Structure 1
C-alpha cells in the first residue's frame, strides 16, 4: 500500500511537470496535494520578498454550496513573514506544521485567525502547513491543506503518513514551480520589450487578459462537454499564449506607437501588422503552445462579422493571400477565426475599456458591459459573450488580483 502510494506520487509529479503556466501549475499542485491527504480545502501563498502573497484557494465544502458552474471568489492579500501566523512561521523556520485543531493552539508563537471562517460559514479544524523550497532551501512559498477527511467524510487529524507523502510531493512540486516561475519571468521580459514600445502592454494587463481568457475558455469548454484532460491542457496553453497577444508591437516604430495624434491611413496599416509580426515569432516551432500563440497573435483583432484585420495574409511576409474586389485581404469571420483568438479579443477589449491609462480614463462598469453586449455578433462571438457574462464574478476578482502598480 505504501509503495503504491509513493509510486502514485512519483507518477503525479511527472504529470504536473508538463504544465508550463505558473498559475495553472499552482492550482493543479494544490488540488493534487489535497487529494493525497484527502483534505477538504487548501491555500497557496507565494513568497514576495518579506511577504507571503495569497494566490490560490480551494474548498470542496464551500464549492458544493454554489450553483453549478460557479467558482469561489477570494480576495487577494498578503501576510508578513513573521512567527505570528501559521504560514509565516512555516516560511520563517522551513518547518512543516501539523495542528489537529487550529482553534485550540496553545503554547505556540503563532495563532489562527477565525475571521475567514466566520465570514464564509466554515469551520477549520485540522491543518497541515508545508513550506515549499528550492534546492538551496530558499522558501518559494507555503501551502496549507485543511480538514483531513476519513473514508466516511468526517473531519480527522492529519496522520504521520499524510505528512510523509505530502512533504515528499511538495518537495518535487517545488522544483517544478521554480521552473514555471522561470518561464513566467521569461514571458514577462518579452512583454516588457513590448511595453517599452506601447505603455498599454503592462505586466498586469497581460496577466488579466490571460486569466480572463482561461475562465472564458473553461466555462465554454464545459458547456461543450469537452473532456477534462483536454480542458486542462488547453487552459495551460491559452494562458501563456494570451499573455503574448500583442508581442508583435516590438516590430512597430516608436514614432508610430507613441504618436499622440490620430494615425494616418498608412500608419494604421503599419499598426495592423503587429498581428502577423507577432505570429511570425512562433513560426519555427510546431508545439501546441507555438500554434496557440500564433493563432492568438494573428487573430485577436479579427471580428465575428468579418470587419476586423489582418484577414487572409501570409504570416511570414505579410503578403495578401486572398483579395476582395478592392484588393484588400479577404476577411476572416465567424468560426473561421481561431477559438483562442476569439476569446482573447473579448478579454483584451474588456480590460482596455475597464483600465485607466495616461491617455484615457477607465469606463464606467455598466458602460463597459453595454459595449460588450452591443458588440456581440459584430466584433465578438455571441456564444463567448454569453459565457463572459456567466463568469463575470470571477473576472471581476481577477481585476483585483492583478492591479496596475502605477496609474
Structure 2
C-alpha cells in the first residue's frame, strides 16, 4: 500500500470534501474522455463510455443514449443507465428491447411532444429544470416509469450528436444532476451544458469513425468472401472448400478461447486476432484465382488437359510388342513354348505395374 504523503492546497481540499469539480477539472476530464473515445474500437463499449463519462462530467444520476435509425425515422435505444435504480442496459450488456422513439406521429406530423424526438428533429439542446412542470413536452411515459419504480425524474439535459457532415446521428439524454455535497437533485448548470455539447461533438465524431472503420472492414470481408466463393465455384470438385476451412478454423479458435485447462489454457485470441484469423482462412486459397481450369478440375494425378494414364497404357503396349519381337530373335535356339512362357511372365509383370499405376492415379488415393 502506498503511504507517501500527497500535497494539495486548501482549495483542492475543500473541493474534494464537497465533491464539487471546477470547470477547469471538467475540461481536463473532457480532454481525457476525448482521448479514450478516439482509441476505443468496440462500438458497444464506445456507446457505454459516452454515457458513463457524460454522467461523470455533470454528476448525473441517469443517462440514455439514442442512435438514429438508418432510415432516419426513429431513435433506437442504445444505452440506458440509472445509478439509483442500478440499471445498466445496452452496449456490452446486450440489446435493449424497449420500443423505438418515432420521429413522426401516425398522422405524418413531426413528433415534437417527445423531448428526445424534438431534439433529433430540431437539433436544439434542451435543458429542463423539472420534467413534471414543463410545457410543450409530453412526459407521461417518464411519470409512469417513476410511478412503477418509485423514482423521481426531475432535471434533464438533452443534446443532439452531430457528425462531421452536421447530420444528427443520435441524442444524449441526462437525467437528475446531483449536488455533490447533499446528493439532492439540482439543475444542470450552464457550464455543464457547454461541457456536454463538447462531449456530444467528440462522441459523434468517434462514433462516425468507428462505424466507418466497421463498414470498411465489413466491405473488405465481403469482397474477400465474394472472391473466395468465385474460386470455389470454378470447380465442382473444390466447391465450398474455402468456406468450410474458414468455418472450421473459427470453430477451433473459439474452442481454444473457451479452454480453461490443458495445453491451450493460456492462449486467448483477441477480437482483432480473431478477425485476422478469419480473413486468413478466407484468403488461404486465393492463389487458385490464376490456376488453369484443367488443374482445378484434375480427376487424377496424371491429368493435365487429359488423363495421361492413357499414354502410359500406349507405351506399355509398345513395350510388350517390342519385348516379344526381341525375345524371339534373341532366343532362337530355345523351344518356342519356353520363349512364349518367358515373354508372358514379363508381360504379366508389366500389366501388374500398370494396374498399380491406375489405382494410385485416382484423386482420392494417397501416396
TM-score normalised by the chain length of structure 2: 0.54
* Alignment pair present for 1:187 and 2:214: no
Equivalent residue for 1:113, pick from 141, 152, 155: 141
Instruction: Provide closer, same or farther for how the CA distance between residues 123 and 72 of structure 1 changes in structure 2, counting only shifts above 3 A.
Output: farther
Equivalent residue for 1:57, pick from 76, 80, 101: 80
2:162–2:169 Cα contact (<8 Å) kept = yes
Q: Map residues 284-323 of structure 1 onto 2, 5 A cutoff.
A: 298-302=249-253
SS in 2 for 1:130: strand
Which structure is larger by alpha-carbon Rg, 1 or 2? 2
For 1:110 and 1:143, locate their aligned partners in 2 and report how far apart those are by CA, in whole Å.
Answer: 18
2:156–2:176 Cα contact (<8 Å) kept = yes
Q: Offset of 1:189 from its aligned partner?
A: 2.6
Q: Partner of 1:172 in structure 2?
A: 202
Q: Partner of 1:130 in structure 2?
A: 159
For 2:228 and 2:195, locate their aligned partners in 1 and report how far apart those are by CA, in whole Å.
Answer: 52
Q: Partner of 1:338 in structure 2?
A: 268
SS in 1 for 2:86: helix
TM-score normalised by the chain length of structure 1: 0.49
Q: Offset of 1:156 from its aligned partner?
A: 1.7
For 2:125 and 2:200, locate their aligned partners in 1 and report how far apart those are by CA, in whole Å.
Answer: 11
Q: Map residues 253-272 of structure 1 onto 2, 5 A cutoff.
A: 253=229, 270-272=242-244
SS in 2 for 1:53: strand
For 1:304 and 1:138, locate their aligned partners in 2 and report how far apart those are by CA, in whole Å.
Answer: 42
Structure 1 stretches (4+) deviating beyond 6 angstroms? 70-73
Instruction: Provide closer, same or farther for how the CA distance between residues 255 and 57 of structure 1 changes in structure 2, counting only shifts above 3 A.
Output: same
For 2:270 and 2:219, locate their aligned partners in 1 and report how far apart those are by CA, in whole Å.
Answer: 23
2:37–2:46 Cα contact (<8 Å) kept = yes
Aligned-CA RMSD value:
3.8
Equivalent residue for 2:99, pick from 62, 67, 77: 77
Instruction: Provide closer, same or farther for how the CA distance between residues 336 and 304 of structure 1 changes in structure 2, counting only shifts above 3 A.
Output: farther
Equivalent residues, number: 236
Higher relative contact order (CA 8 A, sep 6+): 1
| 1:350-388 deviation line (CA, Å, top 9, x unaligned) | xxxxxxxxxxxxxxxxxxxxxxxxxxxxxxxxxxxxxxx
Instruction: Provide closer, same or farther for how the CA distance between residues 96 and 301 of structure 1 changes in structure 2, counting only shifts above 3 A.
Output: same
For 1:78 and 1:53, locate their aligned partners in 2 and report how far apart those are by CA, in whole Å.
Answer: 5
For 1:338 and 1:136, locate their aligned partners in 2 and report how far apart those are by CA, in whole Å.
Answer: 39
For 1:113 and 1:149, locate their aligned partners in 2 and report how far apart those are by CA, in whole Å.
Answer: 22
For 2:198 and 2:88, locate their aligned partners in 1 and report how far apart those are by CA, in whole Å.
Answer: 32
1:63–1:71 Cα contact (<8 Å) kept = no
Q: Map residues 265-284 of structure 1 onto 2, 5 A cutoff.
A: 270-274=242-246
SS in 2 for 1:102: coil
Gaps of 5+ in 2: 1-21, 104-110, 275-367
Q: Partner of 2:303 in structure 1?
A: none
